[in-house]
């Protein structure tokens, strides 16, 4: 039996819907935020867990301008929640667009791993670790919709010297992908400095993060010279 006009129309619609579905699934994620030079003297806080409106409002009322949010989980109980694309857009969107109106920078915890880090690494070991870690960082940055150019902060793991040996390689690999890189140490009282960029750390009086540790606040120091701190904003 020959196909009717109705059959042809239904087939056409079916094919069209299938094409549209494939196009939707293959489209690159829309990154709404963009990288901008951070303001000297701006205050911010570090948070592990999904940002709630009450948290954002508490800090913005106290004139905090940015948030440093973790990309990966550093809690053995799995209580840290990695940054998502939806949260990135919510944090950086203006209050007029139902956002929190905060600037954002991501934080990656370098975690000690006996299978990855060696006490006396060879040059090949350094390259392998830098490639593996930076690949994970880039993957998480893309999932979280962090725009190219934003400063990615690397948190050292418990002051472990073996991890510090790999930092330069990791920094270089991430930099090659278009991001800038900063280092945050373990000592809460020390100045965090990298490439003439400084963050000062203190304790925050507001509330605890989801993993039970006290929220840290940070202040951007002199942000001049060639290597500046960049945050994501909308």
Is 3.40.50 the CATH number for 5-233? no
Alpha-carbon distance of 54 to 150, in angstroms, equals 26
pLDDT-based confidence at 189, cuts 50/70/90?
Answer: very low
DSSP-assigned beta bridge partners for residue 193: 198
Give the strand pairing for 191-194 and 197-208: antiparallel
Q: Distance between terminal CA atoms of the chain? A: 59
pLDDT digits (tens, 9 = 90+) for 122-146: 888 888 888 899 999 999 999 999 9
pLDDT digits (tens, 9 = 90+) for 164-185: 788 888 888 898 999 988 887 6
**21 vs 153: which has the higher pLDDT:** 153
Asked if residue 40 has pLDDT above 90, the reply is: no
Scanning 63-209, the segments in alpha helix (DSSP H) are: 85-92, 123-143, 161-164, 167-176
What the block records as the tokens of 25 is 């699934």
Mean pLDDT of 101-122: 83
Residue 74 to residues 111, 113, 126, 186, 234, Cα–Cα distance (Å): 7, 12, 22, 14, 28
- Quick one: pLDDT at residue 107? 92
**207 vs 137: which has the higher pLDDT:** 137
């Amino acid at each position: 039996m020959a196909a009717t006009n109705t059959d042809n129309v239904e087939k056409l619609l079916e094919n069209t819907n299938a094409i549209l579905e494939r196009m939707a699934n293959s489209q690159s994620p829309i990154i709404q935020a963009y990288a901008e030079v951070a303001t000297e003297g701006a205050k911010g806080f570090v948070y592990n867990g999904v940002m709630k409106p009450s948290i954002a409002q508490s800090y913005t009322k106290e004139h905090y301008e940015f948030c440093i949010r973790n990309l990966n989980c550093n809690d053995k109980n799995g209580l840290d929640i990695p940054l998502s694309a939806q949260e990135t857009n919510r944090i950086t969107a203006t209050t007029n667009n139902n956002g929190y109106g905060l600037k954002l920078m991501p934080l990656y915890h370098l975690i000690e791993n006996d299978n990855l880090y060696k006490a006396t690494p060879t040059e090949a070991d350094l390259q392998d670790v830098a490639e593996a870690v930076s690949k994970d960082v880039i993957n998480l940055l893309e999932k979280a919709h962090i725009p190219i150019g934003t400063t990615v902060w690397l948190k050292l793991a418990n002051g472990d010297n073996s991890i510090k040996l790999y930092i330069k390689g990791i920094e270089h690999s991430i930099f090659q992908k278009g991001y800038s890189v900063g280092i945050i140490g373990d000592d809460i009282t020390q100045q965090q400095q990298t490439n003439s960029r400084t963050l000062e750390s203190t304790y925050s009086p507001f509330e605890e993060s989801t993993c039970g540790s006290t929220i840290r606040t940070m202040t951007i120091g002199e942000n001049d010279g060639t290597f500046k701190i960049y945050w994501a904003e909308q």
